[in-house]
Structure 1
């Protein structure tokens, strides 16, 4: 896989030895984390497919469903920073095992839900169980890869969102239609059961498959460990001028919150993409659940291709902010236009594809921005803090969309609000975190 190559036009010169080492690190870390994230996203958003059935079975309104989506982020926000700080102490292996086993068990328990209140309780518990997974992985990748490679690495990791959408939609539709009534369970109950078991198994495997950092990687030679550690040490030294000697110092920096504003509104974007797209497709004239599942995979496939191309171009140019900003602005435009094509499934799919490109590329690129600014000592807590603030956006947006949909009978007001918020939050980041503060360097011999 030639993901590290000599790129003279960009001034990047990678020695053969360095390319070999980073390919080795890539194959030992990213594929396993990729699998974990596919399972994570499938378990988080399978409720969007289950809702096509359980809303009727449990008599749950659109507003209650929106609240059930959003309340997930209460537990997530409260426990995200503690989880990442704990990860610094106990390491990635134990942290990933704890998170994945717990979220798998909670996801399975959703099949026993009988009313809206029980749904809310399970969603809060799922948020608590999952808290720390994504920021933990982001921090973990900073322990291995320098910033100049990070956007491309994150693109590979974030590709898991697209894969979960491509695989999850058809699988969810198939399970819900083919297993409905089997052994006395509804199709949506089978969905939560079947998709909750794999995280438990993979979580146990994480303890044996991951290394806590380069120093503990017995699959690297001493020379290879030294190369990875020294390459990261150069960046650490370059960022001493940020004076983020600790998480508390970083938490007092207004620029951190400029970055958090962008992540906050990106969560709004994700709410539309992940939790409402099956409903949008069904309302556009597609009634069959299996067909909805199959069509829901299309935007994710389009988004995956766009994300990879944008991430690669961002790495070549070592430019993050505008690659991120323009993608989010395009996604905002797509969301604002969705109400105008509410009854045209083909145009709805087209706009969802544009939305997917902006969302997935935004998620992949975003973390290369604050991690190019923060010092290593502040990164774990600061990454979790930014992520926590962003997840509040995941709490707000579903409630805005669900409530306005129930009151007005359409998505118009909710989607317009989300689109405007995305533009405002991204603009705050572009102004508040200028490019001169980002310390990145081309990899050299």
Structure 2
């Protein structure tokens, strides 16, 4: 199999076309990967900041949980309109705008001093970042036909574990080494130093990305024709091209429910993984960051292997169910507790399951949505799923505040991952997943 272009080796394609897709991949995927890595890092570094913020500012667990989650309310409210704007005005301008505004807001988080400021900044951060993920997914559909999207989207979504693997040690190091410099705490430096690079990359995106295949000056006319014809031919099998027809189809709402369960698990990892590692006796922030590399690093391998195998077999459904079950088992293991090794195994299983299923998921709706339906439908699915980002940290924070344990909440997360697996088996027809 061609691991870069994401095409099964058995698929009879010309060497010219294979080389063309490799070139496209190396041109646009690294930039999108960096963008989403920064997005995930800037939204989830609150999990590391929590280790100092709560005591420094006198915040309770419920204040932290609500503040961490309110980000996703702002995100969900603006997701669909943001994707429509990008579809109309182009990815170059809109992705650049998204990154510059959210990077600025992330840096300004260093000035938070009250719960109200905390809630306000997190809400605005969600509004600013809204549209990046569905926008990037939509952008990839402009370049790749459905048969190539399984691994390419999984490779893009690998930004999540990459950010977790690298961001953990980086965040821990900043908080330990920069604490007290210029009179600022470690968590203040964390927000500043992880927010400003996003602004710089946002400016780079404006000058680097092309809105569509036809705008790419680095492609010849014949190469543009090949790419455009593949995507156009692929669009003939799409079930929906208008937003109204997509909304009336229960399949779209099934996708929303499946993605909700997946995002519930991702949010739990994003905002509570450092606390879980701390609970097994690791107190140094840098060491917590190093240990967080284990589940996230393993997830990178899992995402690539699941995505590659799904494309090779041209099958999506059972390749999604497997990681969902693995993730559910992982959360249950964490909830049961035990020694440090037992908990780390559970964290690794949960991370592999959630991230792998998330990468595979987006190959499903993009196979049946085109044009306006793709812009709105992808945004709607992302919005419905992103609400889980609010529910998860708020639920865990509230339950922990009442019971002094997050175990009951983790069992709930396990249940929803299993429910998503059941929906994939029973509600996603084979015609959507076997190409």
Distance 2:6 2:191 in 1: 43
Deviations 1:132-172 (A, max 9, x none): 00000000001001111111111221121111111111111
- Displacement of 1:352 in angstroms is 1.0
**What residue is the counterpart of 2:377 in the other structure?**
382
- Displacement of 1:438 in angstroms is 4.4
Q: Alignment partner for residue 395 of structure 1, among 379, 387, 390?
A: 390
Q: Alignment partner for residue 282 of structure 2, among 274, 280, 286?
A: 286
Point out the more displaced range, 99-108 or 56-65.
Answer: 56-65
**2:300 aligned with 1:312:** no
- Displacement of 1:402 in angstroms is 1.1
**2:229 aligned with 1:250:** no
Deviations 1:320-367 (A, max 9, x none): 12211221121011101212225x222211111111111111111000
Structure 1 residues 22-421: aligned runs within 5 Å: 22-239=21-238, 242=239, 244-342=240-338, 344-421=339-416
- Displacement of 1:439 in angstroms is 6.9
- Displacement of 1:433 in angstroms is 2.0
Distance 2:73 2:93 in 1: 23
- The number of residues matched between the two structures is 434
Point out the more displaced range, 284-293 or 90-99.
Answer: 284-293
Distance 2:6 2:335 in 1: 44
Point out the more displaced range, 246-255 or 76-85.
Answer: 246-255
Distance 2:370 2:296 in 1: 34
Distance 2:336 2:328 in 1: 14
Relative to 1, partners in 2 of residues 1:19 and 1:281: Cα closer, same or farther, differing over 3 Å?
A: same
Distance 2:285 2:7 in 1: 48
**Which runs of no fewer than 5 residues in structure 1 stay unpaired?**
441-445
Distance 2:112 2:364 in 1: 40
Relative to 1, partners in 2 of residues 1:5 and 1:97: Cα closer, same or farther, differing over 3 Å?
A: closer
Deviations 1:225-264 (A, max 9, x none): 000010111111122xx2x231121112111010111100
Question: Is residue 315–residue 434 contact of structure 2 (8 Å, CA) maintained in 1?
Answer: no
**What residue is the counterpart of 1:443 in the other structure?**
none
Deviations 1:267-296 (A, max 9, x none): 111012111110000001111111111111
Distance 1:284 1:57 in 2: 23
Question: Is residue 324–residue 420 contact of structure 2 (8 Å, CA) maintained in 1?
Answer: no
Relative to 1, partners in 2 of residues 1:227 and 1:421: Cα closer, same or farther, differing over 3 Å?
A: same
Relative to 1, partners in 2 of residues 1:216 and 1:340: Cα closer, same or farther, differing over 3 Å?
A: same
- Displacement of 1:6 in angstroms is 7.9
Backbone CA RMSD of aligned residues: 1.4
- Displacement of 1:131 in angstroms is 0.2
Distance 1:83 1:286 in 2: 41
Secondary structure of 1:238 counterpart:
coil
Question: Is residue 7–residue 148 contact of structure 2 (8 Å, CA) maintained in 1?
Answer: no
Deviations 1:48-74 (A, max 9, x none): 000000111011111111111111011
Distance 1:439 1:166 in 2: 32
Structure 1 residues 15-26: aligned runs within 5 Å: 15-26=14-25
Distance 2:346 2:397 in 1: 20
Secondary structure of 2:19 counterpart:
helix
